[in-house]
Amino acid sequence: MTTEESKRRVEALIPKFQFERVLNQDEAGRRITLYGQVDSQPALLIFERAPFPDAEEYLSILPANLRSITNLGNNDIYSWFLASGGPVLKENENDKFADFKVDLICPCTEKHIKKHSRQGYRFVTETPEIYREKVRPYMQLNREEGRLNWVFNIIEGRKEVEDVIYRTPLGRDGDEGFLMLPNLHWDRKTIEALHLLGIVERRDIWSLRDLKKKHIPWLRHMKAKLIDATVKTYPQIDTDQLKLFCHYHPTYYHFHIHVVHVMLEATSTQSIGKAIGLDGIIEQLESMSGDDETGMDSISLSYTLGEASDLWTEIFEPLKKSGAASQPQ
């Protein structure tokens, strides 16, 4: 049998697969393993989404060819959808199965373009001095430019009201007031890919850098409340199937906590140099010597930066060129 004949023979096996049951689904729903029969022989069929082709003739027609586009939510310039691109199962019937998760940012800014473009990365160390003298003013500027308007719209109930899965009545619980809503990258259906955001009402904590020893009881209460709210909303999840972490640097400087299912694929959002576990933050604060005002602003933090990010171009690249940057060990 020639090589071509062998290829055609095995290619002909795929359409013969008779599905019986799902064995596994992982990679945030992007890979699925099916059990069934091929010519009365037991067989496994493993589907995984291939990388998108970068051919212009494909990408230029892709948006227009999506079907059954369903908006999951929108706030300010951000929108997210489910859509179908696979075969229509029955003629003249609406698509039952969305196979695309689509995000839209419109109008996007130059910052969005930089963030989402392919770029090199650097691993930097932010010392307490660099934080105090360079990074804190950068955070302040970002808060003053109106970039938190969409967060405040959600907290105050002006936007995404239907998307909030849990909230304490606005203003009732003081510093322990919070709400939870799906992260825009979650399809809201695949439980093992669950990714929620717990956004606190209080506005005095911009990032984990603002956390101090005096906040330890508050952090413990917030952890318990977030876990309790999640398992009440999704009773098929146990408490030990959840991970809680914070990003540094976060996408926006208003304190929030990520709540994810333990089966969620550990992509860059959970990687070293980006995600810091909530339990680890609490333990770090407990181990610090000093009074209640001692906190996370007194230690060095190392993390990954894109070369197109403002933190790199405006702070760490100039520090590196001047020889003043602290290098990771």
Beta bridge partners of 101: 82
CA–CA distance, 257 with 10 (Å, rounded to integer): 48
Q: Which two tokens stand for residue 231?
A: 């398992």
**How does residue 289 score in pLDDT terms, banded at 50, 70 and 90?**
very high
Cα dihedral 163, 167, 172, 174, rounded to 10, equals -100
pLDDT at 110: 80
What is the mean predicted confidence (pLDDT) over 299-323? 94
Starting at the edge strand found earlier in the chain, the sheet holding 18-26 runs 18-26, 31-38, 41-48
In this predicted model, which residue has the larger pLDDT, 299 or 62? Answer: 299
Residue 235's pLDDT is 97
Question: Band of the pLDDT at 188, cuts 50, 70, 90?
Answer: confident
User: pLDDT band at residue 325, thresholds of 50, 70 and 90?
Assistant: low
- Top pLDDT among 159 and 305 is at 305
Predicted pLDDT of residue 317: 97
Cα 97 from Cα 84, distance rounded (Å): 7
Question: What's the rounded mean pLDDT across residues 20-41?
Answer: 80
Q: pLDDT tens digits, residue range 235-273? A: 999 999 999 999 999 989 999 999 999 988 776 666 777
- Predicted pLDDT of residue 228: 96
Please state, rounded to an integer, the average pLDDT across all residues of the chain. 87
Cα 254–Cα 259–Cα 265 angle in degrees, nearest 5:
120
Q: How far apart are CA 277 and CA 124, in angstroms?
A: 19
What digits encode the pLDDT tens for the residues 55-103? 888 889 888 888 888 888 777 777 888 888 765 555 545 555 667 777 7
pLDDT at 328 over 60: no
pLDDT tens per residue, range 213-243: 999 999 999 999 999 999 999 999 999 999 9
Greatest mean pLDDT among 54-63, 154-163, 207-216, 315-324 lies in 207-216
pLDDT of residue 275: 93
Tokens 């959600």 found at:
154
CA distance 253 to 209: 10
**What is the rounded average pLDDT of the residues 186-213?**
93
